[in-house]
Amino acid sequence: MFPTFLLPADFPLTACTISLVGESLRIKASSSQSSSICPACGCASDRRHSKYIRTLVDLPTSGYDVKVLILSGKYFCDNAQCSRKIFTERFKQEISPYYRRFNRCKELLGNFALELGGNKGAAISRLVRLRVSPSTILRIIKGRHLSIPNVTSGIIGIDDWAFKKGNTYGTIIVDLHQNKVIDLLADRESETICQWLKEHQEVEVISRESWWPLFKRGPGRCSAGHSGS
Ligand SMILES: [Zn+2]
């Protein structure tokens, strides 16, 4: 019996097998969806055109890297107004179109990047058998939506963050109460940080570096003591 806990919960799969190929676990599965949504017009279609195998990388398991081969469908779009006649099957969760990894891999790699920067994040990815290049790490982090409009705790830390060490730096903003990253800024200019602070008036306490004492934000002004480059 296939250990279904290996794959993301509630993922629509049937008839799974698992085998060891070299140092990789190969999981074969097929989609159990009987219809899909056209990405161009949003109409549902259950008229299948053909099947194809989609290969995705998943999180490593027991020291093995994991590849999942999913037998998926291509569907006709019967909406006469739609520009797409045939489209590949879409899934509601865990798989983004045109992406070669499950979303939970992207989430983990994004966390590596936020904590370590591009080059170190790529180095750690090799150690955990989820090998990606520094440029892939950067693409992931640039595409990440840090959608937290308000900082609920009002206590933040600001520090430099290396998109590419020795080359490109941005600014990372951490909610120190929730202990999580809430935004990445494209550069480390004081003006950029001040603009961010103007948009987050709920912030009351800012720590410029982890070893700096917390200090109060002054009324009506930006007090980020940013050392810049
Ligand atoms: Zn369509």
pLDDT classification of 15: cutoffs 50, 70, 90: low
Query: What's the gap in Å between 31 CA and the centre of ligand 1?
Result: 20
pLDDT, tens digit, 9 for 90 and up, residues 87-115: 999 987 777 767 788 888 888 888 888 78
HSE-up (13 A, CA, CB side) for residue 194: 11
**Is the entire prediction scored with pTM above 0.75?**
no
pLDDT, tens digit, 9 for 90 and up, residues 163-220: 666 677 888 888 888 787 888 887 888 888 888 888 888 888 888 765 444 444 444 4
Question: Residues with beta carbon < 5 A to ion ligand 1?
Answer: 38, 40-41, 77, 79, 82, 84
Query: What's the gap in Å between 88 CA and the centre of ligand 1?
Result: 11
- For 190, the token pair is 């004081």
Query: What's the gap in Å between 77 CA and the centre of ligand 1?
Result: 5
Return the top range by mean pLDDT from 72-81, 126-135, 174-183.
72-81
Query: What's the gap in Å between 39 CA and the centre of ligand 1?
Result: 7
- What pLDDT sits at residue 224? 42
pLDDT, tens digit, 9 for 90 and up, residues 136-170: 887 787 776 665 556 667 888 888 887 666 677 88
